[in-house]
Amino acid sequence: MRQADVMVLGTGPAATRVAIKCAEAGKDVAIADPRPYGGTCALRGCNPKRVLVRAAELYDWIARAEGTGVQVDQSTVDWGKLIAFKRSFTDPVTPWKEKKFDKAGITQLHGEPRFVSPNHVAVGNEELDCAQIVIATGAVPVSLDVPGWELLITSDDFLELDELPSRVVFVGGGYVTFEFAHVAARAGANVTIVELGPRPLPNFDLDLVDCLVDRTRELGIDLQVSTEVVAIESTSTGGYVVHTKSGQASSSFDTDMVVHGAGRVPNVAGLDLEAGTVRYGRQGIEVDGHLRSVSNPAVYAAGDVAATGAPALSPVASEEGRTLAHNLLEEKPRKPDYGPVPTVVFSVPALAAVGLGEKEARRQGLQFEVRSGDRARDNSMKKVAAKHARYKVLVEKSSDRILGAHLLGPDAAETINLFALAMKAGVPATEMKSTLFAFPTFAHDVRGML
């Protein structure tokens, strides 16, 4: 049986940081992943998604340029070339990461890892006796209790499509759906979104979501809310029939592809955590404040698979990876320093948020002022013909501290970071408002929001 000081399950940002740091410190490290090395963010998530979204943004900029004096020929998105461009970023990831692990002296295992006992992990036919085990296996699409759900493709599959079908249905109205739906619509597809709840993107500000919904429908996307997908069937022609129910009304429609956008869950299936006495629940592996398993002191977890209560985002996983590397190597453990975590829906326009929303702030009993408005009226938005742009900032009355910020617009994904920095540094709203930002820039609009 092979021995390992540290066994790492997964090869995403959290797993990679732990493995490299421990190897550099002289630990005997092994790493395992059943999929190509690199993790979701680099291969199947953040980075490749952003390539597709950038194409949609460019298309949108060109469309908005009409009437501004810019003469542009009819623009189109060549899907095949776009995916080829995306692969120029993703294809080098796995060999680069394998080379990096090899240089660090890390034992690389390819296969499904599973616990055999609290300190033993098997990968294929090989079993390892591990002093410490780090689980950073990420998240996977949730299984749906819908007949024919196996016919759905995932966001992973969507990013690998050599051709985009003319009709696409997305099940679920979360951020992944909105991002890919906005890309697909601008690439010429007829897009439908079916959302079970009364509104999409429930974790974002209602008023800003309503504005984004208006823009989504303007694009020709058929957004159906309070609608349940009850069954999916394949047809003899290679297409699909989606059966839905809204209230007492039932309907069905044909499509060429159905995409899973109904949420993700911690990737623990197949790990046999019971054999490792690793306690877990719906939110993932239960850990203490130092990311250590509450039931097996040899086990740690980080990223989307850990039930920390932090958002399932790549920067969070990276911070937890840094924290875990420290805790495995240093005598005095520490907790992750998340601070305010900004999150972005990379639709076009983008929707971004950091901190508290109105409902949560009221639940906490905070006394605050809501500063909000329609940014489409601002000169900065008029200059780029952006007709769907809004903001909402929550400021505590007694302390002048910024409790939360919510932005919709072509600059939202970048501008939200200014609010995150101010909140982490404790910069009051008055101080932020008095800061001289370069003009004319989108960031300069922050002063007007405060």
> Is residue 118 domain-shared with residue 256, that is, in the same domain?
no
- pLDDT, tens digit, for every residue of 102-114? 999 999 999 999 9
- pLDDT, tens digit, for every residue of 148-201? 999 999 999 999 999 999 999 999 999 999 999 999 999 999 999 999 999 999
The residue among 198, 196, 228, 227 whose CA lies nearest residue 210 is 198
* Average pLDDT in the chain: 95
User: Furthest-apart CA pair in the chain: how many Å?
Assistant: 71
User: Is the peptide bond prior to 349 cis by the omega test (within 30 degrees of 0)?
Assistant: yes
339 within a domain of the structure (yes/no)? no
- The average pLDDT across 314-331 equals 96
pLDDT at 94 over 80: yes
pLDDT at 72 over 80: no
Beta bridge partners of 371: 393
CA dihedral 60, 66, 72, 76 (to 10 degrees): 40
> Is residue 312 domain-shared with residue 353, that is, in the same domain?
no
pLDDT score recorded for residue 74: 72
Count Cβ atoms within 10 A of the Cβ of residue 430 and give its class: 0-12 exposed, 13-18 middle, 19 or more buried.
exposed
344 within a domain of the structure (yes/no)? no
Domain of 387 in residue numbering reads as: 349-449
CA distance 343 to 355: 9
- The average pLDDT across 296-324 equals 96
pLDDT score recorded for residue 209: 97
337 within a domain of the structure (yes/no)? no
Pairing of strands 284-285, 280-281: antiparallel
- At 272, list the tokens: 């046999």
pLDDT score recorded for residue 332: 95
> Is residue 162 domain-shared with residue 250, that is, in the same domain?
yes
pLDDT score recorded for residue 65: 82
Confidence of residue 207 (pLDDT cuts 50, 70, 90): very high
Domain boundary among 212, 240, 262: 262
- The average pLDDT across 346-357 equals 97
pLDDT at 70 over 90: no
Confidence of residue 242 (pLDDT cuts 50, 70, 90): very high
How many Cβ atoms from other residues are within 10 Å of residue 102's Cβ? 11
How many Cβ atoms from other residues are within 10 Å of residue 274's Cβ? 10
User: Is the peptide bond prior to 198 cis by the omega test (within 30 degrees of 0)?
Assistant: no
8-14-20 Cα angle (round to 5): 60
pLDDT score recorded for residue 22: 97
Check which CATH number belongs to the domain holding 117 and give it: 3.50.50.60
> Is residue 300 domain-shared with residue 323, that is, in the same domain?
yes
85 and 47 Cβ atoms separated by less than 8 Å = no
Which residues lie below 8 Å from residue 194, measured CB to CB, with a gap of 6+?
Answer: 169, 170, 171, 172, 173, 224, 227, 228, 229, 242, 244
- The average pLDDT across 314-336 equals 96
- At 15, list the tokens: 């797993």
Beta bridge partners of 344: 352
pLDDT score recorded for residue 33: 97
Domain boundary among 209, 229, 262: 262
412 and 351 Cβ atoms separated by less than 8 Å = yes
Confidence of residue 89 (pLDDT cuts 50, 70, 90): very high
